Amino acid sequence: MNTAPTTSTAASGGYMDRAIALARDAAHRGEVPVGAVVVEAETGRIVAEAANRTETDRDPTAHAEILALREAARVLGAPRLPGCDLYVTLEPCAMCAAAIAFARIRRVYFGAFDPKGGAVDHGPRLFQQPTIHHQPEVVGGVRETACARLLKTFFAERRDGNG
């Protein structure tokens, strides 16, 4: 598994930019700013995208990754997405990492590392467990500064009473 930051064209292109835009929109709605985009690897077509909606939907599972995976499965008509890559602005949590494994996502690109709630490079490191049935390739730190800044600003505004 490669969780080193990357500057490759594929990983740093418009897909993470789109995920960041979705995260910004989520922040404006009072949601934790996380955005996710599912891309068909062979064609480069965006199949699905989502931002966090846990507050809006009053649903603890309405994380950006889960919502994007559900939509991609619906659009492609399949419960598994082995030909797809996921771009997400924050290191996935345990719930999202498990869903990514169940969906058999080919590659995960994430922006900000999450030492507290992440489950890919931190915490349980789910994809490294011998019992996990699918281990996608992982590239962490894509547009890390921009992704981390969104989160830091969002939570700082909440602490200061501006949000």
> Annotated catalytic, 65?
yes
Distance, in Å, from the CA atom of 67 to the CA atom of 50, rounded to the nearest integer, reads: 6
Distance, in Å, from the CA atom of 104 to the CA atom of 139, rounded to the nearest integer, reads: 16
Burial class (CB in 10 A: 0-12, 13-18, 19+), 156: exposed
Q: What is the DSSP letter of 152?
A: H
DSSP string, 2-36: --S----HHHHSHHHHHHHHHHHHHHHTTS---EE
- Largest pairwise CA distance in the chain: 45
Q: State the catalytic residue, choosing from 31, 65, 144, 157.
A: 65
Tell me the catalytic residues: 65
